[in-house]
Amino acid sequence: MFLQNSSVRPLTPTGKSISALALTALACLPAQANTLAKIQTVVVIYAENRSFDNLYGLFPGANGIAQASAQSRMQLDRDGKTVLARLPPVSSADAASAPQWAFVGRLPNQPFRIDAPQPGGLPGVAPSLATPDLTHRFYNNQMQINGGANNLFAAFSDAGGLTMGFYDGSSMAMWKLAREYTLADNFFMGAFGGSFLNHFWLICACTPSSATAPASRTSVIDPATGRLAFKTLPVASALSSGPNGLFQRDSSFTPVDAASGLSYAVNTIQSPFQPSGAAPAAGGDTRLADAAASGRSSVLPAQTTTTIGDTLSAKGVSWAWYAGAWKAALADGRQSPAAPRRVIYNEAAGSANFRPHHQPFNYFARFDPSTAKGQQERAAHLKDEAELHSDIAAGQLPAVVFYKPAGHLDQHPGYTDVMSGDAHIAALVRQLQASPQWEHMAIIVAYDENGGFWDHAAPPKADRWGPGSRVPAIIISPYAKKGYVDSTLSDTTSIVKFITRRFGLEPLPGARSMMGDLSSAFD
């Protein structure tokens, strides 16, 4: 069985005690409050699936790979005791026709640069090329973190040792913006696992739920560990096989919670409204997903938890969620069930590859397109990327903006590369800087989750949902500290807290009190 190392605690890279950090923060409150009052537009750009060490592990002055302990560098086998003799090979289906990744299984057991020359004279793999995808699921992420030791990433990755790979990001456009403004190096993804759940934590600091989760979509948990139950023991070595098939069932929902009577959706499940990965029911309302869909197309019931959108609207603060290929995906999703999807989950060259589970507001009853109220809310708040560009140019962005790139530009391993998304996001930042609203703007560029890539920093312990591994966050604003690395403890809920503080909103219950609100990034 894997180890539960509960003795590891997060670092305070400044070297100050927690109490000293708190006193420093209190001393800065009046100045920060004055600065925050000047910010009239907050733009949140949410990219995909990169750990901090994967992109910024070599960033000057940051808590990077050089600071990783020997414990986290040296990966263990699945017994939680044996040090791996080398990194495991890549076993995911993505790598089957990609022989350039064969070198991974011959590397020493340690972090390595993906884009550097490899043993045997092989060239490195440039960040302009997509890597195979890596397992990044709720329970799996916890097993890899191993109580903070971060030494079971390779053991439970279907991409084997690729999880230990990182880039020299100094040639990337966003790296240059991070050098110019503020890079947060102690920012963690809000929840364990993947994109679906972490998008919910961005907008509601909550985990979606269902009272009627199908048994076939419910994970099987070992009551002794609280983690996924293995099919058989002892568990096969990571050097001999990938993790697929190890577990009794790793699916979308938790077992029913005794206190609430609910199952919680922790891995991808489809939206009840189009655009969705579930087609409309035959002969049904094409605005809706088929509620009876099964398997990977299973649909989550419409959610009613309070979101940041609700609290903004209650306060009369304008806001919108802009998404790449939103209108095209709407049209694609409303086709008959038999029609092929050309935009939704279409990874073919030239497709926008719209990912419905990256659209969290589309899971909420407030945006039900079959009701008049839902139609009004959708028209007001759920918008296409084309509208984002026109609103920027006209100086008519709402007070709070969320932007989600389409799949082909979101930096997700497997179906896209690092550099195309990096260039896209940097170009959008430059466009925002040239807009009439820039003078009173704050841009937060964050990553939803680690994408299965290793990071050495131990996540703090908060609750059953997270936080998970460390991810990059960059704060860009005329008021942001320049050339600064901010080591204040933060996570995805810090974005919620920042927006809540700036606009005087009703706080969301799930926003973690232990986390900063990003105000430390501002002068």
What amino acid is encoded at 444 in this protein? I
pLDDT reported for residue 34: 83
| Average pLDDT over the chain, rounded to an integer | 93
pLDDT, position 98? 67
As beta bridge partners, residue 402 has 44, 321
Q: Is 105 exposed, middle or buried (0-12, 13-18, 19+ CB in 10 A)?
A: middle
pLDDT, tens digit, 9 for 90 and up, residues 214-238: 889 999 999 998 999 999 999 999 9
**Do residues 300 and 197 touch, judged by C-beta distance below 8 A?**
no
CA distance linking residue 446 with residue 383, whole number of Å: 20
Domain assignments of the chain as residue spans, ordered by start = 39-66+167-207+263-521, 75-134+145-166
Please name the fold of domain 39-66+167-207+263-521: Alkaline Phosphatase, subunit A (3.40.720)
Question: Are the C-beta atoms of residues 29 and 37 closer than 8 Å to each other?
Answer: no
| Higher pLDDT pick, 430 / 97 | 430
Contacts of 480 (CB under 8 A, 6+ apart): 181, 182, 442, 521, 522, 523
Name residue 222's beta-bridge partners: 227
Tokens of 224: 């002794």
Computed from CA positions of residues 207, 410, 111, 87, in that sequence, does the dihedral angle turn out positive or negative?
A: positive
pLDDT in tens, 474-511: 999 999 999 999 999 999 999 999 999 999 999 999 99
Asked if residues 434 and 13 have their Cβ atoms less than 8 Å apart, the reply is no
The model carries a pTM of 0.93
Residue of 477, 404, 487 whose CA lies nearest to 446: 404
- Beta-strand pair 112-113/319-323: unpaired
- The tally of CA atoms less than 13 A away on the side-chain side of residue 147 is 11
Q: Is the pLDDT assigned to residue 1 strictly greater than 60?
A: no
pLDDT of 162-204, one tens digit each?
Answer: 999 999 999 999 999 999 999 999 999 999 999 999 999 999 9
Mean pLDDT score, 120-145: 94
Q: Cα–Cα distance between 268 and 277 in angstroms, integer?
A: 10
The predicted structure's pLDDT at residue 23: 44
Q: CA of 137: how far to CAs of 53, 192, 243, 472, in Å?
A: 19, 7, 12, 19
Residues 121-145: what's their mean pLDDT? 94
Q: What percent of the chain has pLDDT over 70?
A: 93
Which among 416, 336, 329 is positioned nearest to 132, based on CA atoms? 416
Are 400 and 495 a contacting pair, CB within 8 Å? no
Q: Which DSSP string do the residues of 135-184 spell out, in sequence order? A: ---HHHHHHHHGGGT---TTTT-TTGGGGGEE--GGGSHHHHHHHHSEEE
pLDDT at 20: 45
| Higher-pLDDT residue of 286, 100 | 286
Q: What is the pLDDT of residue 22?
A: 45
93 or 418, which is more confident: 418
Phi, psi of 440 (to 5 degrees): -125, 45
Question: In one letter, which amino acid is 360?
Answer: P
Tokens read off for 189: 């993804």
Average pLDDT over residues 66-78: 96
Closest CA to 473 of 85, 185, 161, 86: 185
Residue type, 433: Q
Q: Report the half-sphere exposure of 333 (CA within 13 A, side-chain side).
A: 29
- 493 near 201, Cβ under 8 Å? yes
The distance between the two most distant Cα atoms of the chain, rounded to a whole number of Å, is 64
| pLDDT per position as a tens digit, 23-42 | 444 445 555 678 899 999 99
Question: Distance between CA 194 and CA 107 in Å, rounded?
Answer: 27
Instruction: Report pLDDT for 92.
Output: 72
Q: pLDDT value at position 189?
A: 98
Q: Residues of the chain with pLDDT > 90: what percent? A: 87
Mean pLDDT of 318-325: 98
| pLDDT above 70 (res 8) | no
Q: Please report which confidence band the pLDDT of residue 308 belongs to, taking 50, 70 and 90 as the band edges.
A: very high
DSSP state for residue 66 in the 8-state scheme:
G
Distance CA 22, CA 322 (A): 36
Is the pLDDT at 11 greater than 90? The verdict is no
Whether 407 contacts 414, CB under 8 Å = no
Helix residue ranges, H only, 287-371:
308-315, 326-333
Q: So what's the pLDDT on residue 93?
A: 63
What is the rounded average pLDDT of the residues 41-66? 98
Residues 356-396 have pLDDT tens digits of 999 999 999 999 999 999 999 999 999 999 999 999 999 99
**Which has the higher per-residue pLDDT, 24 or 288?**
288
Read off the amino acid at residue 415: Y
Neighbouring CB atoms inside 10 A of 8's CB total 19
At 193-212, the pLDDT tens digits run: 999 999 999 999 999 999 98
